[in-house]
Amino acid sequence: MGVRLSVVDEMFLWTHRGLGLPIVMQGVWRTDSIVDPSELEQLCVRVASGPLGRRVRRPRIPGARPEFIADPRHYPLSFRSEPVAADSVIEWADAAALLSVDPERGPGWRIAATYDSDGGTVVSVACSHVLADARGLIGALSDAMQRKPSPPIDRTGHSDLTDARSTVGRVLRGTTRAVGGLIVSPARRAELRGFTTPAAATRRFQRHSVTSAVLEIDRDQWDDVATSSGGTANSLFLACVGELARAENKTASVTLSVPMNVRTTDQGDNSVDNSVAMVAIPLTPSTTLAQIRTLCRDAFEAPPMSSPAGFPAELLQVVPDRVAHRLADGPGQRDALCSNIGTVDIDQFEGHRTTGLALRAVHPGASAAQLDDTSTRVSGYLSRNHATYTLSLVSFVSADNQALRTLACNTLEKFGIFAHPW
């Protein structure tokens, strides 16, 4: 027996099954020298024996939640022997993200690699978002690179029958309380109406592809700009992505969806689990970095976005997938997603020095209808490695990668930041 999936885990599992936009986490790691493929093949073995070496098992009893069970299998290294141009690394990474991963049948992750024309190595580590969030992915990769033993999968789970009884019992009790609240509370009824009423924001961008860009910024430059404007590195990040989200309408207000790390002491800081909750940050063109800092602090201190009107979130785990997806679709979608991943500590691997490390969520196999149906215009992912910030962008509205790179560089220059695009 393994670890039961959380509500957030199951939301990502729906996307794997075709309900909503598919999501794969990807780390793109670059070195200053040639890494022998045999070393990367051994890396695959070590990753497989760590926390990513798991898959989802469907329960046999209705009402029980799916669970993660250990699965140490791995795909062989996907290696391209012909070097890619140094200025085409992102295009190669986009293609590497299309390699299939399956969190249910397994393996749910895989590694691809190639060389670049500057004499370095480029490695893609793609992982279904069902298995891990960005911090989990990079933590598992770092441990495998440093040959650190990762804790085995938790074996303290319960049988399907026990879990079904417990889960259904909690849902019935919570739903009963929520229905009672609807009867006596006009505020609860208004909250539920707001949840079920479609958002007024227009979707349908008529874009049939996803574009991406990665930019590196000197850490001192970024921090100096943030501090001089009364903000933080994070509030500057949100301001930049907010500006990108309003690129087609400079006077528009935008709302950012910001993941908040909710890892507990019991989980440990190196847990791979999807330990995030979402908060919403509204921005206008005149919102300052200092104001964004205050908005973030208030949002992080307040209860995160959750199920409406007191209904238990686990209700989504006991109804059919399609029903659950319809109930959960929409409220968490915003104009942009801003994920500040934090510091990553991969300096070298087997003596090969790290020259770049980007983390992002990508959407392989997304259909035109799925892309058109999202209200998100751009997603941004910020990470820091020693003296460098890396900003990874995924756009649903830019014409191509070069257009997004140009727009991103021009936008950062407005803030007094000069970036080096990959």
- Superfamily covering domain 3-160: Chloramphenicol acetyltransferase-like domain (3.30.559.10)
| pLDDT number for residue 25 | 96
Q: At what angle do helices 7-16 and 321-328 cross, to 10 degrees?
A: 110
How is residue 366 written in tokens? 């997304």
- 109 compared with 151, residue with greater pLDDT: 109
| pLDDT number for residue 322 | 79
**pLDDT greater than 50 at residue 200:** no
- Cβ neighbors of 400 (< 8 A, separation 6 or more) are 211
Cα maximum dimension of the chain: 69
pTM of the model: 0.89
Task: Give the least confident one: 36-45, 154-163, 326-335.
Answer: 326-335
| Confidence band for 202, pLDDT divided at 50, 70 and 90 | very low
pLDDT tens digits, one per residue of 213-254: 999 999 999 999 999 999 999 999 999 999 999 998 999 999
Residue with tokens 């397994």: 106
Task: Give the least confident one: 35-39, 276-280, 342-346.
Answer: 276-280
Task: State how far the Cα of 101 lies from the Cα of 379, in Å rounded to an integer.
Answer: 22
How is residue 399 written in tokens? 């014409």
Paired residues of 234 in beta bridges: none
pLDDT tens digits, one per residue of 376-401: 999 999 999 989 999 999 999 999 99
Q: At what angle do helices 233-245 and 219-228 cross, to 10 degrees?
A: 90
| Confidence band for 149, pLDDT divided at 50, 70 and 90 | confident
Task: State how far the Cα of 52 lies from the Cα of 143, in Å rounded to an integer.
Answer: 11
| pLDDT number for residue 199 | 47
pLDDT tens digits, one per residue of 346-377: 999 999 999 999 999 999 988 888 888 888 99
| pLDDT number for residue 264 | 56
Rg (CA), the chain: 22
φ/ψ (deg, to 5) at 92: -65, -40
Average pLDDT of the chain to the nearest whole number:
87
Q: How does 124-145 read in b/e, with b if 16+ C-beta sit within 10 Å? A: bbbbbbbbbbbbbbbbbbbbbb
**Do β-strands 121-128 and 109-116 pair in parallel, antiparallel, or remain unpaired?**
antiparallel
| Confidence band for 409, pLDDT divided at 50, 70 and 90 | very high
Task: State how far the Cα of 339 lies from the Cα of 380, in Å rounded to an integer.
Answer: 6
Task: State how far the Cα of 125 lies from the Cα of 307, in Å rounded to an integer.
Answer: 33
Nearest to 378 by CA among 193, 273, 248: 248
Q: Are 281 and 305 in contact (CB under 8 A)?
A: no
Q: Are 18 and 342 in contact (CB under 8 A)?
A: no
Q: Sketch the domain layout of the chain as residue ranges.
A: 3-160
Q: Are 83 and 205 in contact (CB under 8 A)?
A: no
Q: Can you count the helices (H) and strands (E) in the chain? A: 12, 16
Q: Are 290 and 239 in contact (CB under 8 A)?
A: no
| pLDDT number for residue 313 | 77
| Percent of the chain residues past pLDDT 70, beyond the cut | 84
Residue 27: in which H helix or E strand, if any? strand 24-31
Burial degree of 39 (CB within 10 A; 0-12, 13-18, 19+):
middle
Task: State how far the Cα of 139 lies from the Cα of 271, in Å rounded to an integer.
Answer: 8
| pLDDT number for residue 158 | 80
Average pLDDT estimate for 406-413: 97
pLDDT tens digits, one per residue of 286-306: 999 999 999 999 988 876 555
| pLDDT number for residue 364 | 92
Task: State how far the Cα of 395 lies from the Cα of 215, in Å rounded to an integer.
Answer: 14
| pLDDT number for residue 177 | 76
Q: Are 361 and 380 in contact (CB under 8 A)?
A: no
Residue with tokens 């070590």: 46
Q: At what angle do helices 401-414 and 233-245 cross, to 10 degrees?
A: 130
| pLDDT number for residue 210 | 92
φ/ψ (deg, to 5) at 397: -125, -15
Distance linking the first and last C-alpha atoms of the chain = 44
Task: State how far the Cα of 227 lies from the Cα of 215, in Å rounded to an integer.
Answer: 21
Task: State how far the Cα of 239 lies from the Cα of 66, in Å rounded to an integer.
Answer: 38
- Cβ neighbors of 351 (< 8 A, separation 6 or more) are none
CA 325 to centroid of chain Cα atoms:
18
Q: Are 39 and 73 in contact (CB under 8 A)?
A: no
Task: State how far the Cα of 99 lies from the Cα of 114, in Å rounded to an integer.
Answer: 14
Dihedral sign, Cα of residue 390, residue 394, residue 399, residue 401: positive
